[in-house]
Amino acid sequence: MDAAGIILADNAANLSKELTEHRTLAAVPFGAKYRQIDFSLSNLVNADISSVGVIMGQQYDSVMHHVQSGAEWDLDRKNGGLRYLPPLSSAGSSLANGSRLQTLRNNAFYMRQLKEKYLILCGTGYVGSIDFTALLQDHIDRKADITCLFCRNVVNETPLYRRIGLVTADDGRIISFDPAKGEALISEMTMNTAVIEREKLLALLDSLNNNPRGLTPLEQLQEMINTNKVYAHFSDDMVIYLEDLPSYLSGSLALLDYDVRAQLFHAPSGPVITKTKDSPATRYGKDAKVSNSMIADGAVIEGEVRNSIVFRGARIKKNAIVENSVIMQDSTVGEGARLNYAVLDKEVIINDGRLLSGYLTHPFLCRKGDRI
């Protein structure tokens, strides 16, 4: 495929600051053993894309530690392969306005070095197995300048689900894009993913950089739509949108549905690839009880787990009850403790007998390293 990928591994979504305090959005753990960036990388690699740039956020260490050279995705190559790109790459550049366009402008040098004709720009605020081959082919067939990805099959509706402001013609061409239009919106979810010719993007970035009329970003976007052939590609591939902490919990618990897991991890477009760890098998105590849950390898279950996601290395001690919760890597729930609708980040310790309870719309969150 004559395309390269650029992953925007930033914190543009509203996911709880506690979950992104020590990591960028792309590195947030999901589904017992994955990170959110795994899905974007896998979608690109499954579309035979072998040149991928990852534009880092300020908390970049966790992404680099997880992805490393990209060997798991066959991206440790002499030609092309994986390249980490800082948000500030040019002299005098800044992120004063937090703009993704500014971030792309700061990395224009990387795009100029690429040989591929097309670029697929990916956000990391969702997880899903998306057919990027079909997305690119649709872009080519329509002779579009820009093609934006929209997904109809969204598992968990979020507050932004109907706040897109997209108006399209019968042929799929986008006429306007105004998030302020409220109820007049269609129900497809924007995935912050788009296809554009590499040279076209460089020219657009140059034109947007020269803004003598002082247009706002939204006005610049509308002007870009008016002067270019911008199309919408509607995909029926299933996605889970991770906008904030409630959608993170609801999206995680959605994995307990067999059909959701099948569409996410066994999609026709290819597998979801992640970093391999040689953990021991999950160990269950003689009094352990587990129902409708995902338990990763390396976990130790001595208590009861219901309708929950438990990551590698986590431990649920005797007489503890965990339900409707997400327990991340190396966290411990003490004897007799009870958790309901809770999200425990990595390396949390819940002491014996503690009672923590939230609700699906207001989960109880423990930050990384907390001890309660």
257-306 residue pLDDT tens: 999 999 999 999 999 999 988 889 999 999 999 999 999 999 999 999 99
pLDDT recorded at residue 61: 86
User: What share of the chain has pLDDT > 90, as a percent?
Assistant: 59
Three-state SS at 278: coil
Q: 98 vs 208, 224, 241, CA distance in Å?
A: 15, 20, 22
Structure tokens at 307: 């309708």
Residue 33 scores a pLDDT above 80: yes
Averaged pLDDT score across all residues of the chain: 86
Tell whether the model's pLDDT for residue 91 goes beyond 80.
no
The more confident residue out of 158 and 186 is 158
CATH superfamily of 3-265: Spore Coat Polysaccharide Biosynthesis Protein SpsA; Chain A (3.90.550.10)
pLDDT of residue 122 exceeding 70, the answer is yes
State the average pLDDT over residues 321-326. Answer: 98
Interval 199-228 mean pLDDT: 73
The domain 283-366 is classified under which CATH number: 2.40.30.170, 2.160.10.10, 1.10.3720.10, 3.30.830.10?
A: 2.160.10.10
Q: Is residue 346 within 8 Å of 29, Cβ to Cβ?
A: yes
**pLDDT tens readout for residues 104-115:** 888 889 999 999
Query: Which pLDDT band holds residue 2 (cuts at 50, 70, 90)?
Result: very high
Q: From CA 115, how far away is CA 367, in angstroms rounded? A: 43
- For the chain, the domains span 3-265, 283-366
Mean pLDDT, to the nearest integer, of 11-33? 79
**Confidence (pLDDT) at 15:** 60
The pLDDT value recorded for residue 339 is 98
- Token pair, residue 51, equals 């040149």
Q: Do domains 3-265 and 283-366 have the same CATH topology?
A: no
Give yes or no for residue 144 having a pLDDT over 60. yes
Predicted TM-score (pTM) of this structure: 0.89
| Region 208-228 average pLDDT | 67
User: What pLDDT was estimated at residue 83?
Assistant: 95
β-pairing verdict for 332-333 and 349-350? parallel
Cα 362 to Cα 61, 139, 186, 249, 310, distances in angstroms? 29, 40, 27, 9, 20
Q: Give the pLDDT confidence score for residue 13 in this predicted structure.
A: 53
Contacts 24+ apart (CB under 8 A), 179-188: 179/218, 187/152, 187/161, 187/162, 188/150, 188/151, 188/152, 188/164, 188/232, 188/234
Buried b / exposed e over 40-68, threshold 16 CB at 10 Å, is: bbbbbbbbebbbbbbbbbebbebbeebbe
For the cut 50, the answer to whether the pLDDT of residue 185 exceeds it is no
Closest C-alpha to 310, from 290, 291, 329: 329
Nearest to 313 by CA among 13, 119, 97, 33: 33
Task: Round to whole Å and give the CA distance between 267 and 8.
Answer: 23
- CB contact at 8 A, 202 and 106: no
Q: Read off the pLDDT of each residue in 149-168 and give the average, rounded to a whole number.
A: 67
Is residue 18 pLDDT above 70, yes or no? yes
pLDDT of 218 > 70? The answer is no
